[in-house]
Each structure stands twice: as C-alpha cells, then as structure tokens.
C-alpha cells in the first residue's frame, strides 16, 4: 500500500486515494460536473479530445464560492494524472500536501481558490511514446489552452504563479499578447511547493521558500477579502 503523503487531507477525511479513502474519491468523481467547476470540467473534456492527453479534472471540492484565486503550478503530478484524476490539494502526494499546508497557514480558503497547471497534462507520462517531452516544449504546446482557460473562467481570478516553469509560461503568454480577459488579473509569484523546492532557501531573500509560498497565498487571500 502506498504511504500517506498528505496527512492533513487524510485526517480530515478528504484524501483522494483509491487505497486509503476510496469513498472520498468516488464521491468527488460523481460531482465533477456540478457546482462552480462543472463548466470547467466540461472544458477539460473538450481539451482531452483536442489534445489526446489524459488531462485531470478541476476539483469539485474547490471554489464553491467562486474561483477568486487561481494557483498555477507547472504540470500535474503522477498522482493527479493517473490515479485520482483531479488537480487537488487533497491528492496523496507531497506537492499537494505542501500546497494545502501553505494555504492553511495563509488563510487561503479552498472555497475561493482553484489549483491548475500551465501544462494541463502530465509531461512525464510514460504512456506517451516518441521523443522525450520537456516542460518547456509542452508549455509552448499548452499556451493557447492556458489562454482559453481565461475565456472559460468567470469572473477572471487573481493568479498565483508558482515556480520558475509556470512563471516562464506566464511571461511567454504575456509576451505573445495577453488575452482580453487577463489584462486586469492581479498576478503574484512564489516558489513551487514541490518537496524539492519547498524547504530550500531563496537566494534573493535568504528566506525559506515555504515562507514565500505562504506570503503569496496570504496576499491573494487578502485581495479576495477587499
């Protein structure tokens, strides 16, 4: 049996795991087309057909009061891509755990926030044959889909762009011409909450990356409350 990486989600009865909490995962799957994320997950179905990729869904437990904050990471984890099928801070992987812990410390409610990725499919998916795929090349391929997401989101949220790969993809999108819907988006940047980056010290500020993630999440939460 796989270890429980996301203890906070497990203890609260939220863990998206076939092994540890199968009932939770079944319920989440049953509600993927309802509520705020319903239209977004119908868009995911269109994206799957258009790209041939196993794109995970938005989490129906998120953004119940609206997607006021969009947290953009780089690409889905193996857990999201092949197991739970959702981009969620309730996934059983260390990145989801770190994002959950940071949001808790920052007071960024899941009810007003939504996780997504600049590349909406798992780049390292072993089921994909052919030349080796990279985050940079897949981010170029995914760019029009990221732009289209902002046509689907209503209202357009504040964005927290996490990690250098996501930041580069965002900068390229801006360089190529920001979609109308993104022109008034408040954008915050922070390190990626991966288990490799989260405990590292940021060279520019000499602060631990986890603190910088919390700061960005807190700033986003403050913007929502204004």
Instruction: Give Cβ neighbours of residue 90 (< 8 Å, ≥ 6 apart).
Output: 6, 9, 14, 15, 16, 24, 59, 61, 96, 100
Rounded CA-CA distance 145/123 in Å is 15
Question: How many helices, marked H, and strands, marked E, lie in the chain?
Answer: 8, 6
State yes or no: pLDDT of 99 exceeds 80: yes
pLDDT of residue 174: 77
pTM for this model (two decimals): 0.94
141-179 pLDDT, tens per residue?
A: 999 999 899 888 877 779 999 999 999 998 888 777 656
CATH of the domain spanning 7-225, picked from 3.40.50.720, 1.20.120.1200, 3.40.30.10, 3.40.470.10: 3.40.470.10
Residue 196 to residue 176: CA distance in whole angstroms: 31
Contact 60, 32 (CB under 8 A): yes
Supply the pLDDT for residue 212.
98
Q: Residue ranges per domain, the chain?
A: 7-225
Q: Which residue has the higher pLDDT, 178 or 87?
A: 87
- For 39-112, strand residue ranges (E) read 57-58, 69-73, 86-87
Contact 172, 82 (CB under 8 A): no
Mean predicted confidence (pLDDT) in 34-61? 97
Q: Identify which of 127, 117, 142 has the alpha carbon closest to the alpha carbon of residue 194.
A: 117
Question: For residue range 192-216, what is the model confidence (pLDDT) as tens digits?
Answer: 999 999 999 999 999 999 999 999 9
Residues near 191 by beta carbon (within 8 Å), at least 6 away in sequence: 162, 163, 197, 198, 200, 202, 209, 212, 213
Per-residue pLDDT at 73 exceeds 80: yes
- What gap in Å lies between CA 58 and CA 86, rounded to an integer? 6
């Amino acid at each position: 049996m796989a270890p429980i990486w996301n203890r906070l989600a497990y203890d609260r009865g939220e863990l998206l795991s076939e092994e540890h909490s199968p009932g939770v995962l079944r319920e989440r799957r049953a509600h993927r087309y309802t509520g705020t994320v319903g239209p977004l997950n119908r868009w995911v179905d269109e994206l799957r057909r258009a790209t041939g990729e196993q794109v995970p869904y938005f989490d129906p437990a998120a953004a119940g009061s609206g997607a006021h904050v969009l947290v953009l990471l780089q690409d889905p984890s193996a857990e999201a891509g092949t197991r739970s099928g959702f981009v969620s801070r309730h996934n059983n992987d260390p990145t989801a755990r770190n994002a959950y812990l940071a949001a808790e410390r920052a007071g960024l409610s899941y009810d007003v926030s939504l996780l997504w990725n600049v590349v909406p499919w798992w780049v390292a998916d072993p089921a994909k044959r052919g030349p080796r795929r990279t985050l940079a090349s897949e981010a170029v391929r995914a760019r029009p889909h990221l732009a289209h997401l902002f046509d689907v989101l209503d209202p357009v949220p504040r964005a927290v762009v996490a990690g250098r790969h996501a930041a580069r993809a965002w900068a390229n999108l801006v360089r190529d011409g920001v979609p109308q819907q993104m022109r008034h988006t408040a954008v915050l940047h922070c390190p990626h909450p991966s288990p490799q980056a989260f405990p590292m010290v940021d060279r520019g500020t000499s602060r631990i990356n986890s603190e910088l993630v919390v700061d960005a999440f807190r700033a986003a939460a403050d913007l929502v409350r204004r």
